């Protein structure tokens, strides 16, 4: 038996947003039904290098493989030639332990996180949402926009980034999208004003979106807070909103709710549901047109395994697939 190797170029040919959204919605439903096994994400802080590693194992009943993702976050890499986030997934056969596939996973991480945002908005945003605000316009903002477009008839997108260059590059990359007007905003306040869906993808450690800037009925995908101490939303927003997390333990430690919880500004009793409960129908999503909803996304290992299974299944059909013998027979 041999192990399939999939690099970034192969991955991008095998995984698209539409099918990724389906895979993520399916795995969220299984999460809600209690058919997943996902130990807590393990953090390996490296403060002397201004970075960290994260180990994310999971198994989803019914999928071909279980596995683990090993992913780094090194923000200072922006100054050089390496990306901030790099990752690999090892997918194994749960019945015998054989390593089925080793695949590059930075692209898959962005894809599955975007897909998760799309699924959350499907259940929590108003169905007639047309105006999107992107607070932060890096790689993750792009996949979030791609996912939202698969579900909603988006017509207007306002973006805000840390500098004009970042915003110009984002607009250049997505200017070919049909029927969508993408405009830069001078401030976060201007960006989020009058938006139906707000997506935050910054590494901020202090609130940058205020309650008084947003309207009734808005949905927010809070994506950027993925480590202890990070926060993008004014705590007043969370106090007023219906909050749906991907995983309560992860979110409490490293999601958008982590800082307000640690300061006593928010109680865990305020958390309405996890996304699995909403997708499988145990709890209702949006119940009133005027309510504010927030999806606190920290990124789950089951998402990685769902996408990895999708890619592995398609990768087996490649005519020029690469295999390596890692395991020697007895």
The answer to whether residues 153 and 61 touch, using CB atoms and an 8 Å cutoff, is no
Helix/strand/coil for 59: strand
Neighbours of 99 (CB within 10 A): 18
177 Cβ contact partners less than 8 Å away, ≥ 6 residues apart: 149
Helix (H) / strand (E) containing 72: strand 66-73
- Residue 298 phi/psi, 5° resolution? -105, -15
Answer yes or no: 319 catalytic. Answer: no
Query: If you write DSSP's letter for every residue of 261-318 in order, what string do you get?
Result: HHTTSS-GGGEEEEHHHHHTTSS-S--STT--EEEE----HHHHHHHHHHHHHHHTT-
Out of 41, 64, 69, 230, the active site residue is 69
Encode 14-53: b = buried (16+ Cβ within 10 Å), e = exposed: bbebeebbebbbbbbbbbbeebbebeebeeeeeeeeebeb
Q: Are 248 and 258 in contact (CB under 8 A)?
A: no
Write out the catalytic residue numbers.
Answer: 69
């Amino acid at each position: 038996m041999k192990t399939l190797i999939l690099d970034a170029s192969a991955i991008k040919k095998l995984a698209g947003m539409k099918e990724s959204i389906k895979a993520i919605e399916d795995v969220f439903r299984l999460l809600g039904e209690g058919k997943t096994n996902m130990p807590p994400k393990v953090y390996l802080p490296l403060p002397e290098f201004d970075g960290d590693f994260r180990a994310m194992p999971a198994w989803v009943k019914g999928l071909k493989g279980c596995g683990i993702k090993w992913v780094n976050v090194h923000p200072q890499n922006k100054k050089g030639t390496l990306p901030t986030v790099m990752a690999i997934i090892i997918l194994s056969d749960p019945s015998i332990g054989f390593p089925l596939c080793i695949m590059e996973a930075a692209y898959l991480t962005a894809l599955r996180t975007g897909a998760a945002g799309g699924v959350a908005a499907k259940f929590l945003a108003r169905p007639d949402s047309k105006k999107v605000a992107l607070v932060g316009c890096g790689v993750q903002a792009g996949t979030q926009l791609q996912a939202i477009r698969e579900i909603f008839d988006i017509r207007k997108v306002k973006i805000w980034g840390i500098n004009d260059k970042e915003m110009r590059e984002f607009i250049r990359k997505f200017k070919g999208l049909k029927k969508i007007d993408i405009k830069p905003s001078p401030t976060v306040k201007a960006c989020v004003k009058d938006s139906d869906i707000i997506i935050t993808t910054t590494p901020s450690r202090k609130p940058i979106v205020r309650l008084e800037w947003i309207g009734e009925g808005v949905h927010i995908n809070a994506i950027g807070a993925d480590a202890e101490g990070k926060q993008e939303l004014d705590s007043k927003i969370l106090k007023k909103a219906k909050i749906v997390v991907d995983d309560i333990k992860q979110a409490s430690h490293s999601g958008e709710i982590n800082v307000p919880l640690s300061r006593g500004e928010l109680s865990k009793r305020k958390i309405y549901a996890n996304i699995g409960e909403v997708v499988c129908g145990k709890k209702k999503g949006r119940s009133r047109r005027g309510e504010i909803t927030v999806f606190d996304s920290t990124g789950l290992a089951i998402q990685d395994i769902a996408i990895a299974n999708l890619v592995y299944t398609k990768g087996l059909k490649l005519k020029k697939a690469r295999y390596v013998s890692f395991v020697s027979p007895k």
